[in-house]
Amino acid sequence: MAFLSLLPQQLWQELHGVTQFALFLFSLLLPFLLFKLHQLDGKGKLNLPLSPPKLPVIGNLHQLGRLPHRSLRVLSSKYGPLMLLHLGHVPTLVVSSAEMAREIMKTHEIVFSNRPKTTAANIFTYGCVNVGFAPYGDYWKHVKKVALLQLLSLKRVQSFQFVREEEVTLLVNQIQHACLSRSPVNLTDMLLAVSSNISSRCVFGKKTEVKDGKSTFGELSRRMAMQVTAFSFGDFFPSLGWMDNLTGLIASLKATSRVVDALLDQLIEEHKILNVDEGDDKKDFLHILLKLQKEGMLEIELTQDNLKAVILDMFTGGTETTATTIERTMAELVRNPRIMKKTQKEVRRVIGNKSKLDDTDIAHLRYLKCIIKETLRLHAPVPLLVPRKTSTNVKLGGFDIPSKMTVYVNAWAIQTDPKLWDQPEEFLPERFLKSSDDFKGQDFHFIPFGDGRRGCPGMTFGIASAEYVIANLLYHFNWELPGGEVMKDLDMTEAYGITIHRKFPLLLVPTLY
C-alpha cells in the first residue's frame, strides 16, 4: 500500500546531519567493513548487476537525491535497467524496465513476493501483520483473500456509492460558498479531507472526528505518514539500530502508535456493541471483518492486533494516494485548458439535465478515464513501488540476484521510458483512447498499482473515488488560477512524502457552472 512505501523519503533532507557521523562510524565499523570486503571477495564469481561507485559506510545513499525516482532513473540510464545499490549496509536492486518488471511480477513472482521489514512499519502495523507488509505465506494469503473478496471487491466498492455521493455533495456545497466571494480555495486540503472522510466511513462506519480539541484520525494518519519517512539507522545500518533510540525516533513512533492504537481499540469495541448479525451490504469494513470472525468464516483467527493492522491498512491505503491523484489531475487540467474544456464537455453531456452524477454515468466518461490514466502514468503517487525482498537466489536478466535482496521497481521510470511512450514527459490523455492499457499492468509498461500477488488490492476503491470526485468538480465548476496567472505557469514542483505530491498547495478560483 502507498502508506507503506518505505524508501527513506526524508533521507536526502537529513543526510547533512547523518554525514557528521561518517568519520566516527567509519572508525567504529572498520572491522565490520573489512569482514564484508572479505565476503565480497568470496562472491567474486557471482555475476551481479552494475553498481555506481559508493562511499565508505553510507554506500550509495548520497546518490538518491531529493526525488529518488528521478535520481535513480538517471543512474539507471548509465548502469542499466537492473542496478545494484548499497543503501548503507543494505544491498538494493533497482529495476527500471518493463521487461525486468515482468520477470519480477510474473515469471519469478514467488521469489519476489516477500517484503522487507522496517522500523516504522514494524511499529505501526503491529509487527507487519497487515496486507501490505505481512511476509509471504499462509497468513498473508488469507488476509489478502479476505481483502479482495470481502472488502475491496467490485460489488463492495459499488455498494459504497452512497458514501461517495454524500461526501462529494458536501464538498460541492463548500466550494459553492467560495464562488460567491470569488476567493481561491485550497483544493489540496479539501481533497485530502474528502478522501479521508470517504475512507473512514467505508472502513470504520463514520467520520473519525474527535471533539474537545483532540486530533482527528486524518491528522494522526498524516503524522504517521511523516514519521514513516524519517531516517532510521536500523533500516540501513542494522548493527546501529540502537541509534534510533538515541535520536528519539523509536519514542516518537511509539507515541503516535499508542494514540492510533487506542482509537482503533475504541472503534472495535463500539462495533462489537452493535449488532453485527445484520446482512446489510452498506456495512463498513470493520463490521464485515467482525461478522466473518463471529460466524467462523475466517480460515485463521484474527487477533485484536491483526484486526487493527488490516483496517488501518485499508484506511491509509485509500486516503492520501487518492487525494494526490485527484489533485494532480486537476492541476494538469488547469495547465491544459483545451483538455479541461474537452473533459467538461464530455461530463456535462453525459449528466445532461440531471441534478447529480449517477454511478452508472461513470462508464460513459471515456475521456475522463483516459485523463486519470495519464495522470497516473506521468505522476504515479508511489513512483517507486513498495519494496520487495527476494526469498531465494534467482537469475534475472542474465545476472545473479542473491536472496534477501531488497528490490525497488521504478514505475515512474518505466512509465516515462521514451522506448515505450511517445513524448513521455507530455500530458497527452489521447494516447489512451487508442490503447487497451489498463491498470492491471499486463504489458508492464503501465503499472501505477504494481502487479501480481503484491499488486495494490485497493485499486478499484481508489479509482472509483477519484473518478466520482473529479467528474463532479468538472461538472459543477469552471476553474482558473488566482490573480489571472497564466495556466502554464502553475508550479508543478514535486515533494517527497508518503506519496509524490505537489510541493505547494493547489489554490484555484472556482466559478459556478
Annotated binding site for heme: 456
Residue that the C-alpha cell 523519503 belongs to: 9
CA distances from 277 to 143, 298, 307 (A): 21, 16, 18
d(CA 221, CA 214): 14
d(CA 63, CA 270): 49
State the burial class of residue 20 (Cβ atoms within 10 Å of its Cβ: 0-12, 13-18, 19+). Answer: exposed
d(CA 247, CA 226): 16
Cβ neighbours for 41, distance < 8 A, ≥ 6 positions apart: none
Amino acid of residue 184: P
Q: How many CB atoms lie within 10 A of CB 73?
A: 19
Query: CB of 232 within 8 A of CB of 120?
Result: yes
The H-assigned helical ranges of 297-449 are 304-317, 320-335, 337-351, 366-378, 411-415
Q: What letters, b where the CB count within 10 A reaches 16 and e where it falls short, cover 316-348?
A: bbbbbbbbbbbbbbbbbbbbbeebbebbbebbe
Query: CB of 135 within 8 A of CB of 144?
Result: no
> In the beta sheet, which residues pair with residue 507?
186
d(CA 3, CA 68): 17
d(CA 291, CA 279): 9
> In the beta sheet, which residues pair with residue 95?
82, 409
Cβ neighbours for 507, distance < 8 A, ≥ 6 positions apart: 184, 185, 186, 187, 481, 482
Q: Residue 2's closest CA among 290, 313, 365?
A: 313
Query: CB of 507 within 8 A of CB of 186?
Result: yes
β-bridge pairing 406-409 and 90-95:
parallel
How far out from the chain centre does Cα 42 lie?
39
Name the DSSP letter for residue 444: S
Known binding-site residues equal 456
Amino acid of residue 25: L
